[in-house]
Amino acid sequence: MAAYEITTAGVREMTTFLEWADDEQWNPGRLDHLPFHAADPHGFLLGRLDGEPVTSVSAVRYGAEFGFIGFYIARPEVRGQGYGIRTWRAAMKALDGRNVGLDGVVDQQDNYRRSGFRTSWNHVRYAGVPGEETPPPGITVTDAGSVPFGLLASYDRRFFPARRDAFLSLWVGVPGHTALVALEDGELRGFGVVRPARSGARVGPLYAASDDIALALLNGLSASQPGAPVALDVPDVNVTAVRLMERLGLEPTFECARMYTKGVPDVDRAGVYAATTIELG
């Protein structure tokens, strides 16, 4: 009988998660494994059949009350044999008692509902080369390293359900990632990161107090990836963000549902123009 076991993945094994995500057409960032693993070194599970990895899932814990599921993948050769659901149950057990979020692809959403998840909104991935549009004067866009990290972490906490300092410090500092902030009258009013992906570049998060600030940040982030298409996972409940993407000529290419087990966390949803990632929230 084949031996199946579920083990915790180390940072080197995280490249397997990215390779499989790329196979699923999710287009992960090239260096996502480094900040992802830092978010929760015990939060990435591999299911092994006779020693060979065949399933994956992430169950990342944030603080004491929130968690996020991602990378739920069973390799094609073992689908329908029960190995994936065993890995899923191990992830949910690790997050027991927390409000758990995920971004569910269309063909899995009914399964997630049976596990207690409820849809809050859809993330629509808009992609392309943004059209040229100049924001009004008065907005200063500068490197995120120009503001104290504590201020940046506190600002991120306005839009995310828990502090994630270890992740954030690498997210803004990994080589190839460009992190920008927007200042208006000396006040921090926006924050965004762009990173090279397997195809083009991914923007996330994109936080902004207005569409003018979001535009200024997106212009700066896109300029750091000259000629490359960018992709953003935009919450469809933020009508202002959706209209901005359409105005800039970006096209919807992918959709998934943001789902939670205990309801939508209390964050500034109106300021989220793009999610950080669909894998870790």
Domains of the chain: 4-106+115-121 (3.40.630.30), 126-274 (3.40.630.30)
**Which of 17, 29, 30 shows the shortest CA–CA distance to 69?**
17
Mean pLDDT (the chain, rounded) = 95
Residues 219-244 pLDDT 10s? 999 999 988 899 999 999 999 999 99
Select from 178, 166, 185, 134 the least CA-distant residue to 36.
166
Contact call for residues 117 and 258 (beta carbons, < 8 A): no
- Half-sphere exposure (CA, 13 Å, Cβ side) for 42? 6
Distance CA 218, CA 231 (A): 11
Which tens digits make up the pLDDT trace of 53-68?
999 999 999 999 999 9
What is the C-alpha to C-alpha distance for residues 269 and 74, in angstroms, rounded to an integer? 32
